[in-house]
A and B are shown apart, each in its own frame.
Chain A
Amino acid sequence: MDATSDLKRIAALLQEGSITQVKQLTQELLDRGASPQTILNEGLIAGMAVVGEKMRSGEMYLPEVLQSASVMKAAMEILQPHLLRSGVEPIGRVVLGTVKGDMHDIGKNLVGIMLRGAGFEVIDLGLNTPAEKFVEAIQTHSPAVVGMSAMLTTTMLQMKKTIEAITAAQLREKVKIMVGGASVSQRFADEIGADAYARDAVTAVERAQAMLA
């Protein structure tokens, strides 16, 4: 089978959640001299892009999406050393976190999964993240994008405080800021001075890509 067919097969198998076969095929392609970047872009990322579309259209649900993400993660463990040796950089770095006081993480994690699936490097600060931790992460990792998630009205105001802290640290011009979560809206994003609002994980990828373009 030629490399193009194998890459399409990786994309299809990733959607089916076939971890063993995707790992095997990834290794086979590397052994045959295929470019790790091509495997990443045309196999894994292409597959995750379809997963994202199927999730948005209601054809796939979270268990299957998480399964595909675990397949991608396993394949990336094989691919990562080769990507590093080839000097391949992620398409962008994103710092992600659920804001202070908010203990909901499924939405934020899903955004992380889809961003990684689209070729971004994601620094996940986890739950209940205070503003100063976002500031520190920007100073340490120099991300292109900062993503903040909040489910509750009680915690979404922390997004404003975090943007203020980023501005006070004179880092606001260096990053794009994206917000999302059940209680958040485009209007709220505009009010607090965020650069983008994403209503779901697939949209978050589109917004991040657009901000880097």
Chain B
Amino acid sequence: MTSRERIRAVFAGERPDRVPLNVFAGWNPEVQTRMANRHGSLTAFLARYHIDAVTGVLPRFPFGSPARHAGSLELDHFLELEPDDPTSPAILTTPCDEVLSVTVQQALAAHEQQLAVLCHAWGVFELSQFLFERNGLPGTEQALLHMALEPEKTKQMYFKLAAWTADCVETAIKAGVDVIELSDDWGQQRTMLFSPDMWWEMVYPATKIILDRAHDFHVPVLLHSDGDVTQILDGILKLGVSGLHPVQESAGMSPKHVREFFGKSVCLMGGLDTITALPVMNAGQIRCEVERVFAILKGDGGFIFAGSHMFQNDTDPAVIEAAYDRAYELAPY
């Protein structure tokens, strides 16, 4: 199987020839430089360690530059603004930021190597945080506070943001991406950021619009949410996602429980914790950790081995390499 076929198979609920291997979304600059120096280029690293996919990232400022987002804490301001044209080629060629710098257009070049191309798109809660951005930081508190203070306006905003993301997703799909990676952090340590009731009432209906659009084109959606989202697994299933990332064990999620809950209907991506495993383990320990994770998640398909988030700058490249080496050894079905 080619990498692209392998990724497509796992999202279709079929057993591929081996567990696909992936990193996640982008690279912190220091670790990227160190890895590129060791292997000649990042592309060479991906080839050497049998990584099956690359990710291009969509912009996350629906209303243009960050400057247009700053200066208001009022939802009315954003409800009146006209978003950037989501059908414009600029959506595919504008880098998200310095870390998530690979554009969808750049990622699509990986099709030449028969790698799968994931398109990292932004969900409504995460986008809403960037409405209130200050000094380059997401306005998480404001986004959360508005959910409580102005639920109806927040819902309206979510629908507006969902319409924009759905159009961006369609543009990316028409350009040829294989999978939509929808990023929306709903969890925190051991619980959700907001109540499951609030999620069902406000986040679910808007998110469904994005999922439905991808499904109109028969493209699978991999949901990325940091933190513990155990409380809404039924909702995630109902959204129609084909994959979930990262199933964050260090935040309190149980990969075993999630695997049993979803069976093979939802593929799980992750297993390589970028906070509690990679930076604190040596090469021998990480090999054991990868074995532990494979014992839980490999099953008969439905698993993509990947980082739980972007590799942190204090991670020893040799530990990353040991993890992927061991994963490749364990990968065949």
Q: Is there contact, CB below 8 Å, between A66 and B148?
A: yes
User: Is A58 at the interface (CB under 8 A from chain B)?
Assistant: yes
Q: Is there contact, CB below 8 Å, between A63 and B194?
A: yes
Among candidates B141, B189, B279, B314, residue contacting A66 with C-beta atoms closer than 8 Å:
B141
User: Is A29 at the interface (CB under 8 A from chain B)?
Assistant: no
Shortest Cβ distance from A68 into chain B, in angstroms?
A: 9
Shortest Cβ distance from B331 into chain A, in angstroms?
A: 27
Write out the residue numbers on chain B whose beta carbons fall within 8 Å of the beta carbon of A62. Answer: 144, 188, 193-194
User: Is B47 at the interface (CB under 8 A from chain A)?
Assistant: no
Q: Is there contact, CB below 8 Å, between A63 and B314?
A: no
Q: Is there contact, CB below 8 Å, between A67 and B198?
A: no
- Encoded as 1 (CB less than 8 Å from any B CB) or 0, chain A from 64 to 106 comes to 1011001000000000000000000000000000000001011
Supposing A61-B195, A63-B194 touch, asked if A153 and B275 sit within 8 A by C-beta, the answer is yes
- Encoded as 1 (CB less than 8 Å from any B CB) or 0, chain A from 1 to 21 comes to 000000000000000010000
Tell me the complex Cα distance, A106–B313, Å: 22
Supposing A61-B192, A154-B313 touch, asked if A17 and B148 sit within 8 A by C-beta, the answer is yes
User: Is A183 at the interface (CB under 8 A from chain B)?
Assistant: yes
Tell me the complex Cα distance, A200–B137, Å: 22
- Encoded as 1 (CB less than 8 Å from any B CB) or 0, chain A from 176 to 213 comes to 00000011000000000000000110000000000000
Supposing A61-B192, A183-B275 touch, asked if A152 and B312 sit within 8 A by C-beta, the answer is yes
Write out the residue numbers on chain A whose beta carbons fall within 8 Å of the beta carbon of B1. Answer: none
Q: Is there contact, CB below 8 Å, between A105 and B148?
A: no
Among candidates A70, A157, A182, residue contacting B189 with C-beta atoms closer than 8 Å:
A182
Chain B residues numbered 44-67 whose CB sits less than 8 Å from any CB in chain A: none
Write out the residue numbers on chain B whose beta carbons fall within 8 Å of the beta carbon of A154. Answer: 279, 312-314
Q: Is there contact, CB below 8 Å, between B280 and A63?
A: no
- Encoded as 1 (CB less than 8 Å from any B CB) or 0, chain A from 155 to 170 comes to 0010000000000000
Tell me the complex Cα distance, A67–B195, Å: 14
Tell me the complex Cα distance, A200–B251, Å: 13
User: Is A26 at the interface (CB under 8 A from chain B)?
Assistant: no
Write out the residue numbers on chain A whose beta carbons fall within 8 Å of the beta carbon of B251. Answer: 182
Q: Total A-B pairs in contact (CB under 8 Å)? A: 57
Q: Is there contact, CB below 8 Å, between B191 and A127?
A: no
Cβ-closest chain B residue relative to A64: B148
Shortest Cβ distance from A112 into chain B, in angstroms?
A: 11
Supposing A66-B144, A106-B141 touch, asked if A61 and B193 sit within 8 A by C-beta, the answer is yes
Tell me the complex Cα distance, A67–B149, Å: 7
Q: Is there contact, CB below 8 Å, between B312 and A105?
A: no
Chain A residues numbered 123-158 whose CB sits less than 8 Å from any CB in chain B: 127, 152-154, 157
Q: Is there contact, CB below 8 Å, between B148 and A67?
A: yes
Cβ-closest chain A residue relative to B276: A183
Shortest Cβ distance from A73 into chain B, in angstroms?
A: 12
- Encoded as 1 (CB less than 8 Å from any A CB) or 0, chain B from 237 to 250 comes to 00000000000001
Write out the residue numbers on chain B whose beta carbons fall within 8 Å of the beta carbon of A67. Answer: 145, 148-149
A–B complex contacts, Cβ < 8 Å, 14 sampled: A61-B192, A62-B193, A62-B194, A63-B144, A67-B149, A106-B141, A106-B188, A127-B137, A152-B275, A152-B312, A182-B189, A182-B250, A182-B251, A200-B189
The 5 nearest A-B residue pairs measured at CB: A63-B148, A67-B148, A153-B279, A63-B147, A154-B314
Q: Apart from A17-B149, A61-B193, what are 18 other A-B pairs with CB-CB below 8 Å?
A: A61-B192, A61-B194, A61-B198, A62-B144, A62-B193, A63-B145, A63-B148, A63-B194, A64-B148, A67-B148, A70-B145, A106-B188, A127-B137, A152-B312, A153-B314, A154-B313, A183-B275, A200-B189
